[in-house]
Structure 1
Amino acid sequence: MRIILTYGTFDLFHVGHIRLLKRLSELGDKLIVGVSTDEFNLKKGKKSFFSYAERAEIVQSCRYVDQVIPERDWEQKRNDILECNVDVFAMGDDWVGTFDSLKDICDVVYLERTENISTTDIKSKLAKINKSELDKIELHLHDLIDIVKILSDN
């Protein structure tokens, strides 16, 4: 049995995640996914929209994933590879070279990310939409204040 291991935050689960997990699952017989805990994300300076439990449940529900484990720190990868008898450690190509030190215990593969989609981009677009909507509301509030002033003067 060929076992594949990857890690990620998997916040705002999207088609890029699905495509990555599908390609990872095609590399072997079993795909294990380490999902970053909320505490680990804080150490990395990240804040997820969904809690660890919710993200782990979402990832586990993906048909390409066989097992989900918590990712608690950077150092656990070597231990997880050994404990789970991992054959291939795989990450997105934005991590190229970062985990080459694990090549002494398994194959290390970096897969291309899905173009034009990332959680960071989604969050950025949502923030702009929210800012735009808030600006519109603020304009309407100023209009209402002006109307109230006019009415109270009469």
Structure 2
Amino acid sequence: MSKILNPEKLKKEIDKLKKEGKKIVFTNGCFDIIHVGHIRYLKEAKKMGDILIIALNTDKSVGRIKPSRPINPENERAEVIASLQMVDFVTFFDEDTPYNLIKYLQPDVIVKGGDWKVEHIVGADIVKEVYSLPYFEGVSTTEIINRILNKYKTQQSQPPAEIIEKAKKLKFLILDVDGVLTRGDIILDEENNEFKIFNVRDGHGLVMLHKAGVNIAVITGRHSKALQRRMKELGITEIYQGTREKLKIFNEIVKTYELKKEEIAAMGDDIIDLSMLTRAGLSFAPEDAHEEVKKRVDYITLNKAGKGAVREICDIILKAKGLWDKFIDEYSNF
């Protein structure tokens, strides 16, 4: 007989087992990703009686109480939990709490983890025996998900080998402005002055890159005194404002500096930038760039525009060229 039963079939089994003198233990939860805390908890729960029943929140129930969850669908969660030796039966409940299910099944014992006080455990007013078992600190589905995400992010922070190889050859970096060096917000006052917010770390990345011998140009379709001032502070002289013909400027730069394709990198965020992105030897886009752009570039940064995306690519280029340690040593000896 399958361990996974609907409440009606389970009720019949419980009534039969009770007549045989069996003590029925009930617990509930999402059991999204089974971990050692669950195993220890369920082993202890089984000791409280003869038959252990697990009531699983359905996907709808989980979604209401834990946004962005479950990770695993209810049928898979049920199959995994039912495969455990200490578990006798598994069923589902669709509400936020199993109160109605407990009232219907009438188990002898209710067990929950130690993060629940006995008086707060759902069904404590129905069942006489209610226990709160020890909670295992630092062992939870959320902790596991965070561990996976952090590990994955660390791995992703190392660019693929082909990006490193391309970055070694670079001599010129061309950047869009709005949506790359800034978040893309346009702030205008009543006198039509335009304000921009630049990231300090992006700026310092460009300074280091320029000192390392990589030339930099910015191309934007808008006019801004703030941009002119910021680029002057950073020592960048190749500033092209008020142009939507970015390919024309791109070609002029290639001709002036006698650049090969593999010596040019470009970064943009919107489809207007595709003309230069598709012709650069190495193309970048911020994490929050337009989806059409992200499909066509070589590398998408982990950081968003105006929040470290440009610094990220500066660091990649410096490390690829073997110049990162030089700057670390230089600043360490200030």
Task: Identify the structure with the greater helix proportion.
Answer: 1
Structure 2 residue 89 is matched with structure 1 residue 67: yes
For residue 81 of structure 1, report the CA deviation from its aligned partner: 2.0
Percentage of pairs with the same residue: 29
For residue 147 of structure 1, report the CA deviation from its aligned partner: 3.2
After superposition, the Cα gap between the structure-2 partners of 1:141 and 1:39, relative to the gap in structure 1 and judged at 3 Å, is: farther
Q: Distance in 2 between matches of 1:103 and 1:8?
A: 16
1:7–1:71 CA contact under 8 A, matched in 2? no
1:122 to 129, 138, 144: 144
2:54 to 20, 23, 33: 33
Give the TM-score taking structure 1 as reference length: 0.85
Range with bigger deviation, 39-48 or 49-58: 39-48
Structure 2 residue 16 is matched with structure 1 residue 4: no
For residue 38 of structure 1, report the CA deviation from its aligned partner: 1.1
Q: Distance in 1 between matches of 2:120 and 2:152?
A: 35
Count the aligned residue pairs: 150
After superposition, the Cα gap between the structure-2 partners of 1:48 and 1:103, relative to the gap in structure 1 and judged at 3 Å, is: closer
For residue 6 of structure 1, report the CA deviation from its aligned partner: 0.7
Q: Distance in 1 between matches of 2:29 and 2:107?
A: 17
Q: Distance in 2 between matches of 1:38 and 1:141?
A: 41
1:132 to 146, 151, 154: 154
- Greater RCO structure (CA 8 Å; 6+ sep): 1
2:53–2:90 CA contact under 8 A, matched in 1? yes
Q: 2:132 matched to which residue of 1? A: 110
Q: Which blocks of at least 5 consecutive residues in structure 2 are unaligned?
A: 1-21, 172-259, 264-334
Higher gyration radius (CA): 2
Give the TM-score taking structure 2 as reference length: 0.42
2:64–2:96 CA contact under 8 A, matched in 1? no
2:52–2:88 CA contact under 8 A, matched in 1? yes
Q: Distance in 1 between matches of 2:66 and 2:103?
A: 28
After superposition, the Cα gap between the structure-2 partners of 1:141 and 1:132, relative to the gap in structure 1 and judged at 3 Å, is: farther
